[in-house]
Amino acid sequence: TQLLEQSPQFLSIQEGENLTVYCNSSSVFSSLQWYRQEPGEGPVLLVTVVTGGEVKKLKRLTFQFGDARKDSSLHITAAQPGDTGLYLCAGNAGNMLTFGGGTRLMVKP
């Protein structure tokens, strides 16, 4: 069974601070995706990383895929209250996703 561990589970920060969320596994994934979920809604895809060592930027969000394709990180610069939500990493193995436990982020104004 492939497992993805996310850390931290909870994060409460002030507006303007930076943060990093980690997603680690002992397994190799063909790709890794990051989703953001708001209460009462389904997860929304933020990014897909495919190549080991790949770095993708989405405005203030920077995603990195580890060289061995077993881990990933999400860095948010100058967090804003609108970034509040549940961040989920998901490893793609064949035609199913294995999700990490999620990081619940709260950004206070």
Partner 1 sequence: KAGVTQTPRYLIKTRGQQVTLSCSPISGHRSVSWYQQTPGQGLQFLFEYFSETQRNKGNFPGRFSGRQFSNSRSEMNVSTLELGDSALYLCASSRDSNWSPYGYTFGSGTRLTVV
Least separation in angstroms between CB 17 and partner 1: 26
Q: Which is nearer to partner 1, 32 or 76 (CB)?
A: 32
Residue 93: closest CA among 35, 43, 31 = 31
Q: Which is nearer to partner 1, 58 or 78 (CB)?
A: 58
**SS3 (DSSP) at 83:** helix
Least separation in angstroms between CB 104 and partner 1: 11
Distance (Å, rounded) from C-alpha 66 to C-alpha 42? 27
Least separation in angstroms between CB 95 and partner 1: 5
Q: Which is nearer to partner 1, 29 or 83 (CB)?
A: 29
Q: Which is nearer to partner 1, 89 or 107 (CB)?
A: 89
Which residues lie near partner 1 (CB under 8 A)? 1, 30-31, 33, 35, 40-45, 48, 50, 88, 90, 92-102
Distance (Å, rounded) from C-alpha 11 to C-alpha 104? 6
On the CB side of 59, how many CA atoms lie within 13 Å of its CA?
Answer: 5
Least separation in angstroms between CB 105 and partner 1: 16
Distance (Å, rounded) from C-alpha 101 to C-alpha 105? 13
